[in-house]
Amino acid sequence: MPPVHPRRYARNHVWAELDGDSVLVGLSARALDQLGEITDFALRVQPGDELAPGQCFAVLESAKAEIELFTPLSGAVVRVHEGLDLAPATISDDCYGEGWMIAVRPPDLSEFTTLLDAEAYSELLKTAAACV
């Protein structure tokens, strides 16, 4: 049996990935493909903030739209990716690596396990609901 990948996805195309005792959060390649060139990025949280699922943590502007990004799980913000506001193209260039946006420490991992795994997210992308 292959190892379980530590990345999960929310229906709003935000991904979450285990990183030690925290969870990195970013935006999926599919969403970024639909948005086009990223022109601006602004975080709406800072370390120490407590987030509830579905709370806005950032605003992203692209050639096609301006969107709010919502956290897929609750927890304390433990890190933010400083500098993305100065180099927003990093988000598109390496969305699953250097394009991470925030790190959250959830009270437990039960919320993480309710997010879509890669296979379920792939199925979601085949539906009309896959639009950003």
pLDDT digits (tens, 9 = 90+) for 79-128: 999 999 999 999 999 999 999 999 999 998 888 989 999 999 988 888 85
Residue 61 near residue 113, CB atoms below 8 Å: no
Residue 75 CB neighbours (<10 A): 24
**Model-level pTM?**
0.90
Q: Can you give the residue ranges of every domain in the chain? A: 7-115
Residue 104 near residue 76, CB atoms below 8 Å: yes
Structure tokens at 102: 């925030």
In CATH, the architecture of 7-115 is Beta Barrel (2.40)
pLDDT value for 127: 81
For residue 79, the one-letter residue type is R
